[in-house]
Structure 1
Amino acid sequence: MNKELEHQFVTNLEKHQNIAHKICRIYTNDRDSHNDLFQEITIQLWKAYPKFRGDSKFSTWMYRVALNTAITLYRKKKRSIKTQDYETVNFKIKAEEYDDEIEKDLKLMYDAIQQLNDIDKALVFLYLEDKNYAEISETLGITEVNARVKMNRLKTKLKNIINP
C-alpha cells in the first residue's frame, strides 16, 4: 500500500476510532477483551482498506467491517481469538484512552444490551449512534421495515430488562 493511502487510512481511523471502541464496549466484558477486539478490528480495517471504494462514507464502511468482525469473533463459543501482532503493522495510531468512569451512567444500559443476541446488539448500537433506518438496514443487510419493527421490539425488551 502506498504512503498516501496509508496516511488516509490512519487519519480516518484516528478520526473515527470511537466507533470501534463503542462496538468493543458492547461485545466485550473486560479491558483485555476490549483491547483484543479493537486490535482485531483495526487489522481487519487495514486489510480491507485497499478495497474501500468510497461508495459510502468511511464511517459507514467502518461500522460494517467492525460489526462483522465483532460478530464473527464473538459468535463462536470459544473466546480464543487468533490475532496478529499489532506491532507488525507499520503505522502507529494515537489511541484515545477509553475511560470506563466516563461511561458509568451508561453501565445499566450496556448491561442490558449485553443480554441481547449479536444482531440485536448491532441494531441497538447503530440506533444509539443516531443512524437512520435506511443506514441501519444497509449496514445490517435487512429491510428498513424489518429494522423498524426489530428496534421497537428491542426498546420494549430493554425496558423490561432494566425495569423488571
Structure 2
Amino acid sequence: MGSDFYTTYILPYAAIIIKICRAYTNSQQDFEDYYQEVCLQIWRSKDNFNQASQWSTWIYRLSLNVCLTYLKKKDNQSFASDSLPDEAIDDSQAFSDDAINQLYSAIKKLSELDRAVILLYLEERPYQEIADIIGTNRNNIGVRIKRIKHRLNQLLKIESDT
C-alpha cells in the first residue's frame, strides 16, 4: 500500500476505524490485527468504491464488515480449537481514560448491530447515513438509538455499583 494512498484515503478516517476496531476487540494484539486488516481491505477494495455514498460512509461499512467477519472467524476458531484462548487484555490496561474504558466495556456487551449503530451515533453521523450503512430506514435508527442509550445507562450503572 502506498504511503500516498494511506495518507490521503485512510489516515483522515483513522479515528473511525480505531473506534470500530476497538469496539470489537478485547486485546491490543487483536485491535492491531483488526486495524491492519481494515486498512488492507480498504486498499484492496478501493476500486470497488462506486461513489454512490460518501467515502466516510464506505469506510464505516467496510470497517464494520471486516470486524464482524474477523469476529465470526475468531468465534469459529475458538470452538474448533482445543487450546486455551489467548488471555484478553483488560480495557484499563489497553487504553488510558477510565470513563472511555467503561463506555467501551458497556458497548462490547451490546449486540453486534447495536454496537455498530452506537459507534456511528457517537461519531455524530446523521440518522440517514447510519440507516444506509446498517441497511434499515431512518426512523428505525432513532428508536434503536433511544433503546441503546437506555441499555448503556443500565450497563454503566451496574458497572459503577460494582
Q: Which range, TM-score by smaller chain?
A: 0.7 to 0.9
1:111 aligns with 2:109: no
Match of residue 148, structure 2, among 146, 150, 154: 154
Which residue pairs with 2:95 in the alignment?
100
Specify which structure has the higher proportion of helix.
2
Q: Which moved more, 1:8-17 or 1:144-153?
A: 8-17
Identity over aligned pairs, percent = 32
1:40 aligns with 2:37: yes
**Partners of 1:129 and 1:100 in 2: how far apart?**
19
1:30 aligns with 2:27: yes
User: TM-score when scaled to structure 2?
Assistant: 0.79
User: How does 1:1-164 map onto structure 2 within 5 Å?
Assistant: 7-8=4-5, 10-76=7-73, 77-78=75-76, 100-101=95-96, 103-164=97-158
User: TM-score when scaled to structure 1?
Assistant: 0.78
Which residue pairs with 2:88 in the alignment?
none
- 5+ residue gaps, structure 1: 81-98
CA RMSD of aligned residues (A): 2.1
Residues 15 and 47 of structure 1: CA distance in aligned 2, closer, same or farther (over 3 Å): same
- 5+ residue gaps, structure 2: 79-93
Q: Which runs of 4+ in 1 moved over 3 A?
A: 6-10
Q: CA deviation at 1:73?
A: 1.6
Paired residues, what number?
142
